[in-house]
Amino acid sequence: MRPFPLSLTLTAGLVALSLTATLAADEHWPAPVQALVDQGLEVHGEFAAPGGLSGYAASHRGREMAVYLTPDGEHALVGTLLDADGNDLSAAPLDEHVRSGQEAEVWQQLEESHWIQDGDSEAERVIYTFTDPNCPYCARFHDQSRPWVEDGEVQLRHIMVGILRSDSPAKAAALLGAEDPAAALQAHQDSDEGIEGSAQPREIEEQVYANNQLFEMLGLMATPTSYYRNDEGRLEKVEGAPSEERLEDMMGSPGP
């Protein structure tokens, strides 16, 4: 795949990419926008833009960007549109069409991963957290969360991964494959030695592998990494064991 061509910066606040129409372009998008799509751009939605421009909310390899089609339909501008007061006119459409959709997709991937329920199934707040059995910071976060989990306010969903040590995958599989995974996880966290890795059915081992793949696909670097929806319903990510202030934000309230 060829990289996006670079072009000049417009004084009106647009980082511009001028593309002429191509006869081979798909009829679905105007030719200059289709030229970008052919290079790997994904268009998530259209929006109204000032100055006779047509706006397209798009992304490329996870990076969001706004595309503006000139009134003649012959050129596309890629970048941030500003008004006379310096206000960013691209942020709101990108948030509506790209970020919210990406957040929903990530949340669905988390829901469909392989996790251990820790807490009341009716808890108001759900937090997905990537947990490696050998991670001391995962154990710390587990301890930090106890007041909210035990009070029924928060449910943790531990997405078990095996990434830190050579025996991490086997330990993660042993926890997922336990007769009572939640009890096994609690016993593991309470014990100085923790669970021993053991051979599990192929299905369970593949679940750990799938969780590892999701961890990598999301570009994560450390455990625990946790995801939750804030009071506005937007997706939040917290890497590592949180500070006390951040912990209350995650849990949605001060300690019970």
Set out the domains of the chain in order of their start, with CATH numbers.
1-93 (3.10.450.70), 113-251 (3.40.30.10)
3-class secondary-structure state, position 89 = coil
Report the percent of the chain where pLDDT is more than 90. 73
Q: Please say whether the beta carbons of 122 and 151 come within 8 A.
A: no
The predicted-structure confidence for 72-92, as pLDDT tens digits, reads as follows 999 999 999 999 999 999 988
Q: Which residue has the higher pLDDT, 136 or 21?
A: 136
Q: Peptide bond before 256: cis, by omega within 30 degrees of 0?
A: no
* pLDDT at residue number 213: 97
The predicted-structure confidence for 119-172, as pLDDT tens digits, reads as follows 999 999 999 999 999 999 999 999 999 999 999 999 999 999 999 999 999 999
The predicted-structure confidence for 201-213, as pLDDT tens digits, reads as follows 999 999 999 999 9
Average pLDDT over residues 60-79: 90
What are 148's two structure tokens? 């909210």
pLDDT at residue 23 tops 50 = no
pLDDT at residue 61 tops 80 = no
Lowest mean pLDDT among 59-63, 104-108, 122-126, 143-147: 59-63
For residues 225 and 253, what is the distance between their CA atoms, to the nearest angstrom? 20
